[in-house]
Structure 1
Amino acid sequence: MKQISTFLLLLMLCSCEYFNVKKVSSETILKEELQTFNWNDVDEYPTFSVCDSQSTKQERKACFVQTLTGFITSYLQKDAIIVTQDIHDTINLKFKVTDTGDLILLDTKIDSLTNTEIPNIKQLLTESLDSLPKIFPAIKRGQQVTTEFKLPIIISVN
């Protein structure tokens, strides 16, 4: 009996550690969550309403890029651009789509020859964005987020 009571007493003293609940602060949980968070990818890319019929994420992204490129290209083709020499250049545009769906042109990388031959190219590119349909912003974890992306536009004028 003495041995059993000693055993039970020892068991009770050792088992108390198993019932201690360790508190984890919300800051610790937040830090762990932010470390596992992929900041370079979104759940849904920005999109136009014409791209809603696409079923996969990549198809909607391709539709968005094609629609945006199409609008810019068609606007540039409407304008009569006269040059003294042939131009075959790729203009790299850097955009930002805000969480409210506004498209902002951040930067343009234009070759000096293209800039010389078409001095108002930046103005034309900016004006082409005014006729865009409504853009639905990117979504990350159920929230609308601001995204940035680069888009190459090929300019070919003879």
Structure 2
Amino acid sequence: MKQELRVAAYAVCVRESEGAAEILLARWIAPDGSKQWTLPGSGMHHGENPITTAIREVTEETGYIAEPITLLGIDSMNRRYPRPHGEFADFHGLRIVYEAHITGGDLRNETNGSTDLAAWHPIADITHLDRVDLIDTAIELWRTRPPLGRANGRPIPLTSSVGT
């Protein structure tokens, strides 16, 4: 089984609108054509700083210019994915999550990219969206700001299978 590692950076952009907190999301198009809401962000380019990745991705996916202000946490996830020719990959994703403020630009949708819509959503209505799990993790990090940058609902493994 092939092992894959992907390091990505994302931005949690929250604003107050008519007394309710709203979060900026982009709608991701999966390889199979299905669509789910996610945070603006994506994989880092080789040699790229994760802050630069978050800034670049917010602009690419939403049209806004963002300024990261706080590191909220680093989420680690493992999944097994099917690959071509009946093979599988053991995928490990490291997702660096920043809080960011919008400092300029205008909301627009990405064209010819991995997302097709960008929109503000009331945080209170997030549970009604078809979304990736990163959104729930990021909102928890934003609300609780844990000292170690780890969402409370995710256990920390006490042992490692690396090298065994």
Normalised by the length of structure 2, the TM-score is 0.23
- Give the structure with higher Rg (CA): 1
Which of the two has greater helix per residue? Answer: 1
Which of the two has greater strand per residue? Answer: 2
Normalised by the length of structure 1, the TM-score is 0.23
